[in-house]
Structure formats: C-alpha cells, structure tokens
C-alpha cells in the first residue's frame, strides 16, 4: 500500500490513501451519494459511480476535469460555489455547499458537496477528498417545512388581526363591520363573506360583502329547518367545504343568484359558542381548486373567534336595549301642550357603554299659564342612578307644582336627595318660563348653563351663577341657589343640556361649548329639526362618551 506524507492544518500525519471498498461505494450509491478526489494542481477530479450518478453522468461521458463538471452546475449557483472553494483552499480545512445540477433529461437536482482539504507539511494543498450527494429530497422537505412555517405564521397573523379588530367590537353591528371588512377579506383571500345570526328559530344575514344585492335582499332570512346554507350549518353544527358545483346541487334555490359570480369554492361554517349555535359564516373564494388541511384549520379558527365575539355582542345589544328602554321609561312619556311655547327634547345613550344613565329632562305645567323646564344628571351609570333619577324627577316636579319659586324648588330637591342617604349627587338646571312675556327665572345646581340662539342668528351664554350639585346640602331653607331673570324674544331658542353633548376626549369644556354654539348657529329654524340637527352633528363628529339629554324651548 502506497503511503503519502500529508498534513492537516500544519499537523504532520501519514495518511493512507485507498479507494473505498466496493461495499461502501455501493452503500453510498444506494443512498444517492458518491465520493470524489480532486487534485487542484492537475485539475483532475475523480468521481466514483455514485458521484457520477449524482452529477447526472454515465461512465465514459466524463473526462475527469473539474471544469467539465462546472458546465453541469446551474449558472446562478456556480460563482458562489467557486468563491467558497477558493476560500477553503486558501485557509480552511473543509467546506460544504448546496448547489443545483442540471441533468441530461432537463431536470434540476439539488446537490450537496462536503470536501476536506489535505495539505502537505508546508501547508500546500495536495488533494481534496469528499462526498457529493443528491439533496433534492432533503431540500424538498426543508422547503415544505419552510412553507408550512410560513403558512402557520400567515394563519396566526390572520387570526390575530381579526381578533384585534373584534376586540374593539361591542355590538353586533361592530362585529359585522369587522368580519365583512375589505381588510378581513384581503387577509384570508376571500371574494365574499356573509355573517348570519340565529334569532328565534331563524337565521338572518346581518352583514355581507361581495355577494349579489338581490341574494342578500331576497334570501336573508330563513327558518333553521330550511334547506339553506346558514340554516343547515346551524342545524347540524357541521362545517361544509363546497365546490361551485356542489353548492349548486345542494342549494338550488341560491343558484340563480350565484351563477353569475366567479367563486370556485365556499366554506359554510357554524358559529358555536358555549355549545350553543349563535350564527353561521359563509366565505367564498375564487380560483381555488380546494382547501388544504391548513386552510380548513384556519377557517375553523376564525369561525371560533367570530362565534365568541358574536355571542358577546348579542348579549351587549340585549343589555344595551334593556338599559335604553328602562332609561326612556323613566323619562316623561309625553311633553304637555304648552300654550304660547314650543318644546323639543332628545335623549341619546352613550355609544360606548351599555349601562343605564341618570340623565333626564322634564316639562311641568305651572299655574297660571307658565311652564317649568328642567334638565338634570344623576352621578353614575347603573340601575341605582336611574332609580335615583326617577325619584328626584318626581320630587322636583312635586315641589314645582306646589308653586314654589325656582330657588326653593331646587333647594328642596337638594335636601330630598340628601335625605335619601345614597352618596350620589346630581346636577340640574331649572327654569320657570312665562311664554306670554318671555321672562324666565333660571336656577343652576352644579350644571351647565343655558345657551340661547337669538332670532338674529347669534348665540350667547347667559351668566347663571348657580350653586352646588343637589344632595350636598341638608337644609332646604339655606337657599344657596340664586335665580337669574332672562327674557326670550320671539323665535329665540333656549337650550339646556347635559355634559354628554360637550365633553369629549381631547377637548376641554369651553371647546365643547364653542362647538355646540357653532352647531346651533348653523342649524335650522324649526325647533324639532334643530334638535335633530344638534344631536346628529355632534354624533357625526364624536363618539358620545356619556349619555346626552337636551331640551329646546322657544316662545311666540
């Protein structure tokens, strides 16, 4: 056996060199591998049979030159491979790299090379030996795993994006807006989305995007027993992943509306929360041959997220409706006819809450031919605040109808609230108005002062000194509420309101009052239209953070 005196990185060793045994070469070849020996000085590179196969060569086709192998390597990969090998020959003991090889049949296979640089005692390169192997299956698996990770990350991003949008949603309308938004459709690659809600044995489409208007209009409500997608999803609690033809055959009633659309696949998902069906979701896709397991899992995850939000929003809407109904029940059922005066009232609950508030208004017929008008606000947003508001409104009405002047009416109302021992206080503004003369005696208890829009189009804020909120004093005869006399001219509009119309995030009270003045000045003349204009204009600019009540009065 011939021996060669060579070294590794300057360490002298005597390394025997023989060809790999036949059984080793066979094992390498069976595993898509082969060996090579390269003499850089002579530019000869020997490949065994396995190495030839990896490089797409047959015996007799290879001239033993390294540069000949370079013609097999995909041109984009060759410069990087050459640079890597040059660095290894200059200073490194080994190298490894992936590159692509084009085979005679035109296929491109990934190949991996692992080389060991053998040097003599002076550090000169004498030979490079190593292994080449077919890495296509390995990289295919890597690519699949990478694609799987990317797909999982995309699914996570989709679910997180929708979850965030739904976290801001309170009502069913909010949930519908988030689910059917263009952003949501883009995230999941859908052409259309429809959301259905279960209501008293029926399914009702509460929101849709990308579907024909006629479909939403004509087929939006169906019985749970009907042969319709939402009804079937709710009834069976089973998701359906359907092709265009399957949907046509399964739901022929819908086909006339859908045949002109371009969808190819649809997912019909039951929305179940706490083991109860709350609705259904339909999502249609275009140019999609089918649903992978990952896509199905993503849609099921979205359905679960939406179901939880939809159940929460339904509860919110019911509670909000109950609160608003109770609030309205506590307010006057009708405004009495006031000879010589016109009155308009409005109440709006806060847009970002479901608790009942303590805002109120009232109009009281006084003798002779006068009217008492009042707007107030009990501290807090709960049933207790509403209950106090109802008691206080009745008490104040009783004191007014007894014929007491405004200062006494408010003082006694304050003592009444104090005696309730509730730890709650209230603010209030009360005016005793004579429509025949236009004179009004106004008293303020910790409340916003009035605004008057004059007949000439200007707006003013009369100074009404006022006193402390109701409930803070215990003596009715203390009379800490001075009355201010104001006179209204024909077509003047007197406004009294609660702070829900003037207090908003990022805006101080004076800015809110300035805004209210501007809205009043630009409003219509007719009182009812002016009331709608004020409420509408404020709601269009801001979310109502608190309940809002207003009362407008004019004479003549």
Instruction: Kindly indicate the confidence band of residue 153, based on its pLDDT and cuts at 50, 70 and 90.
Output: low
pLDDT of residue 69: 87
Radius of gyration of the chain (CA): 41
Instruction: Kindly indicate the confidence band of residue 211, based on its pLDDT and cuts at 50, 70 and 90.
Output: very high
Q: Could you tell me which of 522, 486, 519 has the C-alpha nearest to residue 502?
A: 519
DSSP-derived 3-state class of residue 241? strand
On the 0-12 / 13-18 / 19+ scale of CB atoms within 10 A, 487 is: exposed
Average pLDDT over every residue of 518-542: 91
Instruction: Kindly indicate the confidence band of residue 8, based on its pLDDT and cuts at 50, 70 and 90.
Output: very low
Q: Taking every pair of C-alpha atoms in the chain, what is the biggest distance, in angstroms?
A: 134
Average pLDDT, the chain: 86
Distance CA 458, CA 492 (A): 10
DSSP-derived 3-state class of residue 261? coil
Q: Given a cut of 90, is residue 29 above it in pLDDT?
A: no
pLDDT of residue 30: 60
DSSP-derived 3-state class of residue 396? helix
Q: Could you tell me which of 209, 202, 230, 223 has the C-alpha nearest to residue 284?
A: 209
Check: CB of residue 487 under 8 Å from CB of residue 493: no
Q: What is the pTM of this model?
A: 0.54
Q: Given a cut of 70, is residue 314 above it in pLDDT?
A: yes
- The phi and psi torsions of 514 (rounded to 5 degrees) equal -60, -45
Distance CA 146, CA 139 (A): 10
| End-to-end Cα distance, the chain | 127
By mean pLDDT, which of 126-135, 470-479, 534-543 is the weakest? 470-479
Q: What is the pLDDT of residues 360-385, one digit of tens each?
A: 999 999 988 899 999 999 988 777 78
Q: What is the CATH number of domain 331-555?
A: 3.60.40.10
How many beta carbons lie within 10 A of that of residue 176, not counting itself?
Answer: 23
- List of residues 6+ apart from 470 with CB closer than 8 A: 376, 392, 410, 413, 414, 417, 425, 426, 427, 428, 445, 446
Q: Could you tell me which of 318, 435, 438 has the C-alpha nearest to residue 369?
A: 435
pLDDT of residue 14: 35
Q: Could you tell me which of 462, 444, 431 has the C-alpha nearest to residue 377?
A: 444
- Residue 180 CA to its chain's centroid (Å): 11
Distance CA 357, CA 544 (A): 13
What one-character DSSP code corresponds to residue 422? -
DSSP-derived 3-state class of residue 37? strand
Q: Given a cut of 90, is residue 152 above it in pLDDT?
A: no
Q: What is the pLDDT of residues 66-117, one digit of tens each?
A: 888 888 899 989 999 999 999 999 999 999 999 989 998 888 889 999 999 9
Query: 493 pairs with which residues across the strands?
Result: 453
Distance CA 489, CA 491 (A): 6
Query: 102 pairs with which residues across the strands?
Result: 108
- List of residues 6+ apart from 258 with CB closer than 8 A: 212, 215, 247, 248
pLDDT of residue 514: 92
Strand-strand pairing, 451-453 and 459-460: antiparallel
Distance CA 186, CA 180 (A): 10
pLDDT of residue 353: 52
CATH 3.30.70.580 fits 162-318, yes or no: no
Query: Where does 270-382 have alpha helices with state H?
Result: 293-330
On the 0-12 / 13-18 / 19+ scale of CB atoms within 10 A, 58 is: exposed
What one-character DSSP code corresponds to residue 500? G
What one-character DSSP code corresponds to residue 489? P
Q: Strands, DSSP E only, in 381-434?
A: 426-433
For 30, the token pair is 């069976």
Instruction: Kindly indicate the confidence band of residue 387, based on its pLDDT and cuts at 50, 70 and 90.
Output: confident
Distance CA 495, CA 160 (A): 47
Q: Are 162-318 and 331-555 the same fold in CATH?
A: no
Tell which wins on pLDDT, 343 or 294: 343
Average pLDDT over every residue of 267-273: 94
Q: What is the pLDDT of residues 462-487, one digit of tens each?
A: 999 989 999 987 665 556 899 999 99
Q: What is the pLDDT of residues 407-454, one digit of tens each?
A: 999 999 999 999 887 888 999 999 999 999 999 999 999 999 999 999
- Please report, for the chain, the start and end positions of each structural domain, with discontinuous segments joined by +: 3-134, 162-318, 331-555
Instruction: Kindly indicate the confidence band of residue 160, based on its pLDDT and cuts at 50, 70 and 90.
Output: confident
CATH 3.40.1190.20 fits 3-134, yes or no: no
Average pLDDT over every residue of 135-155: 69
């Amino acid at each position: 056996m011939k021996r060669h005196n060579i070294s590794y990185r300057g360490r002298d060793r005597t390394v025997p060199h023989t060809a790999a045994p036949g059984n080793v070469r066979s094992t390498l070849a069976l595993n898509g591998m082969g060996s090579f020996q390269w003499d850089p000085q002579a530019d000869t590179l020997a490949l065994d049979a396995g190495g030839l196969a990896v490089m797409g060569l047959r015996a007799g086709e290879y001239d033993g030159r390294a540069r000949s192998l370079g013609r097999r390597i995909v041109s984009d990969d060759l410069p990087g491979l050459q640079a890597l090998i040059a660095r290894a020959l200059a200073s490194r003991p080994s190298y490894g790299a992936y590159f692509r090889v084009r085979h005679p049949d035109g296929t491109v296979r990934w190949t991996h090379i692992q080389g060991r640089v053998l040097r003599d005692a002076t550090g000169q390169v004498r030979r490079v030996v190593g292994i080449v192997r077919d890495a296509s299956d390995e990289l295919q698996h890597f690519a699949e795993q990478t694609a799987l990770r990317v797909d999982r990350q995309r699914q996570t991003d989709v679910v997180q994006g929708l979850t965030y949008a739904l976290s801001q949603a309170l009502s069913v309308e909010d949930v519908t807006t988030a689910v059917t938004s263009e952003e949501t459709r883009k995230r999941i690659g859908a052409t259309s989305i429809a959301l259905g809600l279960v209501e008293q044995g029926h399914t009702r489409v509460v929101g849709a995007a990308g579907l024909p208007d006629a479909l939403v209009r004509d087929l939006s409500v169906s019985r749970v027993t009907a042969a319709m997608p939402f009804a079937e999803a709710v009834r069976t609690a089973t998701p359906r992943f359907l092709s265009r033809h399957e949907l046509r055959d399964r739901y022929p009633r819908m086909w006339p509306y859908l045949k002109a659309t371009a969808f190819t696949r649809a997912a019909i998902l039951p929305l179940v929360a706490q083991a109860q069906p709350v609705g259904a979701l339909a999502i249609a896709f275009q140019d999609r041959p089918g649903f992978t397991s990952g896509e199905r899992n993503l849609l099921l995850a979205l359905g679960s997220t939406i179901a939880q939000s939809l159940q929460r929003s339904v509860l919110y809407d019911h509670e909000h409706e109950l609160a608003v109904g109770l609030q309205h029940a506590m307010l006057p059922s009708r405004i009495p006819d006031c000879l010589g005066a016109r009155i308009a009232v409005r109440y709006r609950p806060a847009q970002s809450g479901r608790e009942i508030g303590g805002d109120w208004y009232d109009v009281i017929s006084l003798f002779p031919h006068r009217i008492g008008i009042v707007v107030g606000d009990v501290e807090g947003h709960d049933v207790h605040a509403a209950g106090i508001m109802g008691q206080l409104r009745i008490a104040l009405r009783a004191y007014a109808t007894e014929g007491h002047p405004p200062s006494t009416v408010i003082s006694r109302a304050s003592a009444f609230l104090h005696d309730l021992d509730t730890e709650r206080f209230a603010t209030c503004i009360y005016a005793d108005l004579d429509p025949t003369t236009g004179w009004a005696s106004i008293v303020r208890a910790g409340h916003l002062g009035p605004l008057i829009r004059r007949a000439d189009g200007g707006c003013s804020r009369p100074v009404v000194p006022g006193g402390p909120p109701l409930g803070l004093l215990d003596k009715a005869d203390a009379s800490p509420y001075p009355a201010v006399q104001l006179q209204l001219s024909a077509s003047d509009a007197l406004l009294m309101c609660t702070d829900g119309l003037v207090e908003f995030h990022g805006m101080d009270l004076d800015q809110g009052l300035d805004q209210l003045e501007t809205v009043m000045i630009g409003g219509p003349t007719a009182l009812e239209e002016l009331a709608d204009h004020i409420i509408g204009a404020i709601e269009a600019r801001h979310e109502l953070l608190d309940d809002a009540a207003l009362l407008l009065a004019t004479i003549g």
